[in-house]
Structure 1
Amino acid sequence: MDLQDQLKNLFPDHQPEEEEKPIKKSDIWLQDDPIICKYEKRKGKPITILEGYTGATSDFKKLAKEIKTSLSVGGSFKDDKIIIQGDFRDKIMEILKEKGFNVKRVGG
């Protein structure tokens, strides 16, 4: 017997209220210019680079962390660029479009 059943036994006349889940808005600043998503090989290994974000550096770092955790890959943030290990251009572009960013694919 779970908690809901126990509560129904204790309070049979109670009607539970539906809770509205608030739509989660991104706290990251959205820009009008597209973020450039490009592919390179460094030392024979593929990487994906995101650049062109004009907002605060802290927002771009948050975005880098969200992308890395959602893709479960390594990466870094250097010189106002997000560097992701591997070729994940399509997945990264989908994630950014869901967040409301304009993305431009460069190279390949």
Structure 2
Amino acid sequence: MAVKGPTRLQSSTRGCYVAKKAASLAALGGLVFSTDAGRHCPDCRHPVADCTCKQTALPEGDGVARVRRESKGRGGKTVTTISGVPLAEEPLKELAKALKQRCGTGGSLKDGVIEIQGDHVELLLAELVKKGFKAKKSGG
């Protein structure tokens, strides 16, 4: 057999090529498959928990947090939503947790919008202003 290039060999009898076995995973050009860390970010290829892509990105908008009361599509349950808060995802999670504790209710963070169970518009407006955010009541 004659060596043709660093990664393939040519058979002397038939003229066909056979792939040469790689010496290490690095020779393959990176990790191919792993069950170690679960899902990976497609942009930075770090585990989703360690991803740095979304931490630096701030949501677009005018920087004013809009607080409104909603009940549509929730089976009659009232929810106070806060949208447009100029924070990255991790600080936004911390803010949502602090606001839920202040109101004494549950809630969630979905797509950059904080949802607090119950009608707490005035309390949340005061709390956001106290924390240094520009906030205004939105809708009705």
Q: If the length of structure 2 is used for normalisation, what is the TM-score?
A: 0.53
How far apart are 1:55 and its partner, in Å? 2.0
Partner residue of 1:26?
none
How far apart are 1:54 and its partner, in Å? 2.9
Partner residue of 2:135?
103
Could you say which structure has the higher helix fraction?
Answer: 1
SS at 2:126 equivalent: helix
Alpha-carbon distance in 2 for matches of 1:103, 1:54: 11
Unaligned runs of 5+ in 1: 1-31
Alpha-carbon distance in 1 for matches of 2:70, 2:104: 20
User: What number of residue pairs does the alignment pair up?
Assistant: 78
Query: RCO greater where, 1 or 2, for CA within 8 Å and sep 6 or more?
Result: 1
- RMSD between aligned residues: 1.5
Q: If the length of structure 1 is used for normalisation, what is the TM-score?
A: 0.68
CA offsets, 1:22-42, max 9 Å, x none?
A: xxxxxxxxxx72101111102
Q: Is contact 2:67-2:137 (8 Å) kept?
A: yes
Unaligned runs of 5+ in 2: 1-61
Given residue 95 of structure 2, which amino acid in structure 1 is its aligned partner?
L
SS at 1:91 equivalent: helix
Identity of counterpart residues, as a percentage?
A: 39
Partner residue of 1:36?
66
Runs ≥4 in structure 1, deviation > 3 angstroms? none
